[in-house]
Structure 1
């Protein structure tokens, strides 16, 4: 019995030691533009697909520090090195710091759509259909397959700071403006702004922006034990169905 108690005390001390010595995780969040992947409320509560995954991965033994910035400032922070053991989300398609070191498995596959006002009879079939349209795009986000068309003047872009501004432009310019964004983010932001999808037309845009996976993006210099732990936990969340349940909560 004494030997059993001794073993249990040793294990408890090891757990306490691991918890107290574990490196903090620095989680970077995009302010206002990344819903439903990252959602921040006015009282600084965090939710969303990526944020919920992070919470489940680090539910024990790790302290997670949250850093919320506008997109461009966040990228600047990470390009400068960021806080030690930082984590956010990214994709090989995005390049740069959000593609430098990714989790072993993706967390979601994104697709893009064209959103137009229902008053418009616009139908997208191929590139010729968009020659006379104003493309509404969010500030800060790059669209590599669209950029050559923007550079040669075939696409006229209009950048806006948030989804509300994009929807208002579609309402004011129903025959002239189209909004290009991730399908999941369009649907989510229409819902939270109490806008009915039936008042808009949503059309697949995968011919110009093919669907692609997104991953957890990790500090290239992240501690190898932490990185291994993240990948192991992500695999467990996937196998248990928890990952799908988190996604279905928002989409």
Structure 2
């Protein structure tokens, strides 16, 4: 079902994006590797070329609108289509709001949210011409349930989820699908920057998802469309309680999940 599909992945040089490329290639898809670090992409491309000989790599900074538009055009000119675009590039910094730098708020929003918007804006017109395509935005459970020290990061993911929901409704009937993937903490290099002390990672290590688990969920959403996925499944209950009974959530659940 994935064989021959052109799957473009931002943030493909590490973590979820890298594992997604590997798993997609193993199932016969053609991964298009996108990230700022071209050397890491070329190394991954060399690894995948045996199973995905058409695999390609392009340097991409999602904060650079001109580069985003040019890169999308290059991919369409070369491959004729993009079946799936995965907006995976992003990062976080955890800090108490009173200690957080304003630049970190603006930079996270520029990468996590506006990067998603820029890429969707560039790829969507081409998909609409073909009446086909799938945009997958990697959001976060942090965009459903905010916790202390993540005011900046959570805000970016709340924005991604709202954007995804709006876009999905606007594109109904066009043949273009839109999905939000909302994972909990994932065992990647994300925490090297987000959690400089290492305390949060230590506290939640046994609950972390693997990049392979998230990549598997992304590919499942391609095979069998789902508008939204929350990982792991038990976190859905916390989301429901937070939305329906915010007072109870703050009193009972919030103190138990505040591990930062």
TM-score by length of 2: 0.29
Higher relative contact order (CA 8 A, sep 6+): 1
Q: Which structure features the higher share of strand residues?
A: 1
Q: Which structure features the higher share of helix residues?
A: 2
| Structure with max Cα Rg | 1
TM-score by length of 1: 0.30
